[in-house]
Amino acid sequence: MLGEDVSVRSSARPLAALVAALTLTAGLFAAGAPASARTGEAAPMAEASDVSIAADTYDWKNVRIDGGGFVPGIVFNRSEKNLAYARTDIGGAYRWDQTGKQWTPLLDWVDWDHWGWSGVVSLASDSADPDKVYAAVGTYTNSWDPANGAVLRSSDRGATWKASTLPFKLGGNMPGRGMGERLAVDPNKNTVLYLGAPSGKGLWRSTDSGVTWSQVTAFPNPGNYAQDPTDTSGYGNDNQGIVWVTFDERTGGAGSATQDIYVGVADKENTVYRSTDGGATWSRIAGQPTGYLAHKGVLDSDNGYLYLTLSDTGGPYDGGKGRIWRYTTATGEWKDVSPVAEADTYYGFSGLSVDRQQPGTLMATAYSSWWPDTQIFRSTDSGATWTQAWDYSGYPNRTNRYTQDVSSVPWLTWGANPAPPETTPKLGWMTEALEIDPFDSNRMMYGTGATVYGTENLKNWDAGSQFRITPMVKGLEETAVNDLASPPSGAPLLSALGDIGGFRHTGLDAVPSMMFTSPNLTSTTSLDFAESSPGTVVRVGSADAAPHIGFSTDNGANWFQGSEPSGVTGGGTVAAAADGSGFVWSPEGVGVQHTTGYGSSWSASTGIPAGATVESDRKNPKKFYGYKSGTLYLSTDGGATFTAKASSGLPTEGNVRFKAVPGIEGDVWLAGGSTTGAYGLWHSTDSGATFTKLSGVEQADSVGFGKAAAGASYQTLFVTAKIGGVRGVFRSTDAGTGWTRINDDAHQWGWIGASITGDPRVYGRVYVSTNGRGIMYGDSSDSDGGGTDPGTDPGTDPGNPPGDAACSVTYDVTNQWSGGFQADVTFTNTGDTALDGWRLGWTFPDGQKVTQMWNATSTQDGAKVTAANVSWNGKVAAGASAGFGLTGTLSGGNGRPAAFTMDDEVCTVG
């Protein structure tokens, strides 16, 4: 039996408690004292250094793009209206917010060490208890992901989570990830769950609501299909395993386990199995179709039909042939109910849903119909006849049963102007998820490789009029970010993204009108602007053919294609001279190159190895830097020649990123390394001739600069790093002497090492890259730039706050469900002196009980609650703020506390 249990949450909690919790056993995290107290762990002790850490309260949001990645799964709860979830392959899970018609992220708490848990291979919403939701997480089944997979469980709709780690890996970003759902809750006995595993690990079952798991040894077939058996990386040659589980709820009763269970297997000759005795024994269903994999298996319980969508491959990109079959559970009859002849398919079928309000109505998708468009099929007679979303009306013209409006996400047109029968926007591609709302026959959502589309007048299809498709993706941000730049004028942010190129963000809370075009790069790997002439911008990236580089003279609003040296195969990195007079490019396929003007011709740089990362000095237009394998290279002639400079003690392995400080010649910061060698943050003030390692920064992965604090002469420094034993996003206003952690454990976003930059125009604002959760930006509560309070070393007794401390408090309920709620509390020190430790008190008006608190410790006596600082956020400068969060239980109302006190002094309530 598997029983390791980890308490995790989508709200702030000290990171050290999360890491320490990995050694704990199931059941330890019952409601009661805060997690940090229950683990017996104090706050992390700082390693010996001269660094101090303070904490600042930041407001975090996504820079809006809306979508940008593959959504392989959408799950509606079958017993509560408007409760729906979406899963992504690398960007976590989301819950639908009907009020705002947007998605709420649920896994932003996933930390650096468990970045793989941002990949969600399956979701299950409990229809017997809608507060419960489960997620099977893990990104890769091979060595790329060092951690095993886990099943996360929540009893408050994803506000907080607990995790049971598995003895194998899961693959949210592996081939076959659009099949499913692999995770399922027994609708009659909701303590029973099943999980289909990859890699030959078979079928697994939990009988205690996902706390512990054991293999179903009676299940006879762990699967045998791999996308590419010749691949030796562990990616294409992995057995895709058990791919879906479906219950026939008619064969059980409330509290009694469902007897008939259907399981899909990645085996072209044996793709469907059934148990008729609650999972005790299993057998292959006779007469089933062969030569295909069943991507989905959905049961229409009103008429007893099990439908299969089949493809000759596992997807999500491939698939050349497909079928749809129907199984009559009462008689055992199999019937091919495909909408087109097998000879006419050039795609596989995957997306599949039945209308729970209209028995006999079902829909399916041709997920791998890349050209001219995906196809969606609909039947109202259990598959006997079908209609499709579009038809040819004399090739190449087509007639659509739908209209499509992407004005809310205009870049979905890709700026394209295709010839018929292609259209823009497309109906989609990689359409492996399609769900009809079980409570509303008019609403349907489906996932694509770039967004979630949906309709709210689907029944128009049957009435012979057009139904309307729009993006239903607001709040779901799924881009992988490679590079970020914030110029001193023009747009506040320029982004380099995987899969959709990148954007000029003229407003952070508005969806950009179009990605970068001319050229269209599938993934932008690097971009830069000229520091003293920020209208000049350059970007490089991946493309099917040349060019791999583009230039702009108007701050990225318009672009023109550059020429490139022979042999370029990928973008690499690029740097612009401080005045825009020239560029240095280190592309894939050839060595480092330099040019003057806008790249009409390129010349090979000398003295620097191929594949080096290149950056420019932000003051001297003739200076460029390169780095590879532990050596910093310097050019003083515009990139024509380089000379090896510092190498002693610098990292020779791992990811290394470095940048020069704007306005100061020769001032360079370097972050990177690996746990098996040098790892940290280094600073040079002599153009890389020498570097000094910051002793207090244990690890660092990216570095950037922003507007200086009030009274400071040096730009604000931002890093993603491990400082004082804590992983996070840090800020320094004194060139790295003191550090402030500016994220919290609710906002970690897995792996965030690719890029970070401050905003040169807004003090405290920072932009952080994620690998699947888009671009995050944070604004400080210390908006006046009053400098950095050095805070207290972690582990130091914060002592007592000074007397007569003035304060103001805001208390916001951020989430509420049946029997429970979540709240955020922020207090501001309105006095003239810093607080050296704090203790905030209040009385709940309706008998609420605190169950967990993070970024503070709590005690409760009846309705009276006291929250005290933890060791790393005890100091709060005059005018600064601190915040914490909590979850609690309800027995009646949920009124706000009328008053708050700081050591018996009454605070102002906001």
Q: Is the pLDDT of residue 415 over 60?
A: yes
The Cα 486–Cα 761 span in angstroms is 9
Residue 886 pLDDT grade (very low, low, confident, very high; cuts 50, 70, 90): confident
**What digits encode the pLDDT tens for the residues 144-175?**
999 999 999 999 999 999 999 999 999 999 99
The Cα 467–Cα 352 span in angstroms is 19
Torsion sign (Cα): 403, 409, 412, 416: positive
Q: Are 704 and 757 in contact (CB under 8 A)?
A: yes
Verify cis geometry, omega within 30 degrees of 0, for the bond prior to 425: yes
| Lowest-confidence segment of 31-40, 310-319, 533-542 by average pLDDT | 31-40
Residues with Cβ within 8 Å of 331's Cβ and at least 6 positions away in sequence, in order, are none
Q: Is the pLDDT of residue 738 over 60?
A: yes
- Residue 822 is predicted with a pLDDT of 81
Q: Is the pLDDT of residue 503 over 90?
A: yes
Q: Is the pLDDT of residue 47 over 70?
A: no
Q: Measuring CA to CA, which residue among 741, 699, 703, 734 is closest to residue 719?
A: 703
Radius of gyration of the chain (CA): 28
The Cα 641–Cα 606 span in angstroms is 5
* DSSP designation for 662: T
Sheet containing 582-588: order of strands: 570-576, 582-588, 593-596, 603-604
Residues with Cβ within 8 Å of 223's Cβ and at least 6 positions away in sequence, in order, are 198, 200, 239, 240, 241, 242, 243, 265, 266, 267
Verify cis geometry, omega within 30 degrees of 0, for the bond prior to 905: no
- Residue 5 is predicted with a pLDDT of 47
Q: Is the pLDDT of residue 752 over 90?
A: yes
Phi, psi angles (nearest 5°) of residue 343? -65, -20
Average confidence (pLDDT) over 853-859: 83
SS3 assignment for 248-307: CHHHCECCECCCCEEEEECCCCCCEEEECCCCCCCEECCCCCCCCEEEEEEEECCCCEEE
Say which of 5, 56, 89, 267 is annotated catalytic.
89
Q: Is 31 helix (H, G, I), strand (E, B) or coil?
A: coil
Torsion sign (Cα): 891, 894, 898, 902: positive
Average confidence (pLDDT) over 766-781: 97
Residues with Cβ within 8 Å of 685's Cβ and at least 6 positions away in sequence, in order, are 666, 667
Cα 4 off chain centre by: 25
- Residue 456 is predicted with a pLDDT of 98
Take residue 910 and report the two structure tokens written for it.
């906001």
* DSSP designation for 235: S
Take residue 385 and report the two structure tokens written for it.
């006849």
Q: Are 240 and 179 in contact (CB under 8 A)?
A: yes
The alpha carbon torsion through 558, 560, 561, 562 (nearest 10 deg) reads -120
Is 499 an annotated catalytic residue?
yes
Is 462 an annotated catalytic residue?
no
- Residue 600 is predicted with a pLDDT of 87
- Residue 785 is predicted with a pLDDT of 53
Q: Measuring CA to CA, which residue among 170, 99, 158 is closest to residue 126?
A: 158
Q: Is the pLDDT of residue 15 over 60?
A: no
Take residue 890 and report the two structure tokens written for it.
């309800």
- Residue 82 is predicted with a pLDDT of 98
The Cα 869–Cα 867 span in angstroms is 7
| Lowest-confidence segment of 257-261, 464-468, 474-478, 643-647 by average pLDDT | 643-647
What separation in angstroms does the CA of 763 have from each of 603, 705, 711, 713, 785?
40, 10, 12, 13, 6
| Lowest-confidence segment of 503-507, 557-561, 632-636, 857-861 by average pLDDT | 857-861
Q: In the chain, pLDDT over 70 holds for what percent of residues?
A: 91
- Residue 52 is predicted with a pLDDT of 52
For 367-490, where are the alpha helices, taking DSSP H only? 460-463
Average confidence (pLDDT) over 464-484: 98
- Residue 847 is predicted with a pLDDT of 87
Q: In the chain, pLDDT over 90 holds for what percent of residues?
A: 79
Take residue 870 and report the two structure tokens written for it.
């933890």
Q: Are 448 and 366 in contact (CB under 8 A)?
A: no
Identify residue 694 by its one-letter amino acid code: L
Q: Are 685 and 667 in contact (CB under 8 A)?
A: yes
Q: Is the pLDDT of residue 61 over 70?
A: yes
Q: Is the pLDDT of residue 45 over 80?
A: no
Q: Are 670 and 654 in contact (CB under 8 A)?
A: no
- Residue 783 is predicted with a pLDDT of 60
Residues with Cβ within 8 Å of 789's Cβ and at least 6 positions away in sequence, in order, are 54, 740, 834, 875, 876, 877, 880
Take residue 805 and report the two structure tokens written for it.
């401390």
Exposure string over 821-837, b if 16+ CB within 10 A, otherwise e = bbbbbbbbbebeebbbb
Say which of 499, 579, 686, 793 is annotated catalytic.
499
Q: What is 521-585 written as a DSSP string?
A: -SEEEEEEEETTEEEEEEEEEE-SSS--EEEESSTTSS-EEPP--TT--EEEEEEE-TTSSEEEE
Q: Are 327 and 317 in contact (CB under 8 A)?
A: no
Q: Are 743 and 55 in contact (CB under 8 A)?
A: no
Strand ranges, E, within 630-696: 631-635, 643-644, 655-660, 668-673, 679-684, 692-693
Q: Is 800 helix (H, G, I), strand (E, B) or coil?
A: coil
- Residue 6 is predicted with a pLDDT of 43
Mean per-residue pLDDT of the chain: 90
pTM value is: 0.83
| Lowest-confidence segment of 10-24, 183-197, 631-645 by average pLDDT | 10-24
